[in-house]
Amino acid sequence: MEKNSINAVEISDVWKKFFICQDRTRSIKERLIFWGRQRVEEFWALKNINLSAPVGKTIGLIGRNGSGKSTLLKIISRILYPSSGEIFINGRVSTLLELGAGFHPDFTGRENIFLNGSILGFSRKEINLHLKNIIEFAELGDFIDNPIRNYSSGMYMRLGFSIAVHVKPDILLIDEVLAVGDLAFQEKCLARIKDLQKQGKTIIFVTHSPAQVRELCDLVVWLDRGEIRSFGAAEQVVAEYTAFLGGAI
């Protein structure tokens, strides 16, 4: 849904709640006996998130584990929906979240290109146009025609990243998968991201690497316990976050 063509993504007063079951029973029998008496607690993963991602900018999401970074990416990608609030998307979205997401373990790498591409909303014809480049970029060789249940985490990342960046997205969402794989391929991925930046694509990614943030990001969002603690220029927010971590240790 488009709201403002200046922004690729607009997030308005978004909250996300999960229910956590505190049931400690260990057997099916115990679960049946205590059915309906489990203790369920509310957990607010995101609280009052208001954020605009300008078209053509790269935005980093930083924060400690459990701060809501991945949840926010999943809401932007429509994998999850907010408990309240609105998300406005201006353009075609491509996502690279958990390793193996959108893949079927019994399908070959080639078959999974079509499966993953269709999940991202691309037609078979569109995928065919980029198939050769996807396979070449992933550098999987003959493994491309083997079932991906035999793939390593690095091979998963190669294939997933290659699909995500070759289906011509307007908005690319990445959740820390660049930490997986060998250094040479990581550098290749970073070079591809820089190429997308030159094309004016909007990129939002989660990372724990201050160096990556400084190198790639125009803007940075620091999330803390589900809330935006700081949002602004990359160097400024990274300095604030680094100082916070130093004092928290």
> 40: which strand partners?
21
pLDDT at 198: 95
pLDDT at 209: 85
pLDDT at 1: 43
d(CA 194, CA 190): 6
pLDDT in tens, the chain (249 residues): 445 568 999 999 999 999 877 666 556 666 666 555 666 788 999 999 999 999 999 999 999 999 999 999 999 988 899 999 999 999 989 888 766 667 899 999 999 999 988 887 788 898 999 999 999 999 998 999 999 999 988 888 889 889 988 888 899 999 876 666 677 888 888 899 999 999 999 999 998 888 888 889 999 999 999 999 999 999 999 999 999 988 654
pLDDT at 2: 45
Are the beta carbons of 193 and 213 closer than 8 angstroms?
Answer: no
Tokens at 116, concatenated: 């993953």
Q: Which residue has the tokens 């488009």?
A: 2
Query: Measured between alpha carbons, how far is residue 55 from residues 5, 64, 173, 192, 216 in Å?
Result: 8, 27, 13, 18, 15
Domain definitions of the chain by residue range: 7-248
Q: Tell me the torsion sign for CA atoms 127, 128, 131, 132.
A: negative
Three-state DSSP at 119 gives helix
Are the beta carbons of 62 and 238 closer than 8 angstroms?
Answer: yes
pLDDT at 22: 65
Taking each helix axis from N to C terminus, what angle separates 153-166 and 124-138, rounded to the nearest 10 degrees? 130
Q: What class is the 7-248 domain? A: alpha beta
